[in-house]
Amino acid sequence: MDPIRPLDVQLIGPEVAIRWSDDQESFITFATLRAASPSAEVRGEQDIFGHQYGGEAPKSHLGVEVRSWEQVGNYAICFHFSDGHRSGLYPYPLLRRLGDLPRPPDETP
């Protein structure tokens, strides 16, 4: 069986809409995507002793928009955000999980 992959990705209003190869659809708000960035710039990094370096303090990303996106190989999407962030590679399974999350009340379009 082939892994699930996006067949279509569109920016619709304040959301990214993804149609998957298993005929499911995901709608993820821009703020949710930005807050969930898996990049070291956002999450920070740990050394071999478990010491955390860098990363962003938790903050609201309401009002941040996705300006564009690009597919990375056959495994991830990189989104370019209006606040300049563009270093997070979002693997397909992460995007699928984000699309399955209940929408926070403050992010209702």
- pLDDT tens digits along 21-52: 999 999 999 999 999 988 766 666 777 888 77
Q: Is residue 57 part of a domain?
A: yes
CATH number of the domain that residue 70 is part of: 3.30.2020.30
Q: Is residue 31 part of a domain?
A: yes
Instruction: Spell out the residues 6+ positions from residue 24 whose beta carbon is closer than 8 angstroms to its own.
Output: 96
Q: How confident is the model at residue 5 (pLDDT cuts 50, 70, 90)?
A: very high
Number of separate domains in the chain: 1
- The pLDDT tens digits for 40-92 are 666 667 778 887 776 666 677 889 999 999 999 999 999 999 999 998 999 99
Nearest to 9 by CA among 97, 64, 63, 68: 68
The residue behind tokens 């659809």 is 25
Q: Is residue 92 part of a domain?
A: yes
Q: Report yes or no: 29 and 109 within 8 Å, Cβ to Cβ.
A: yes
Q: Is residue 21 part of a domain?
A: yes
Q: Is residue 1 part of a domain?
A: no
Q: Is residue 64 part of a domain?
A: yes
Q: Is residue 59 part of a domain?
A: yes
Q: Is residue 109 part of a domain?
A: no
Please give the model's pTM, rounded to 2 decimal places: 0.83
For residue 41, give its domain range: 6-104
The helix, strand and coil proportions of the chain, stated in percent and rounded to the nearest 5, come to 20, 35, 45
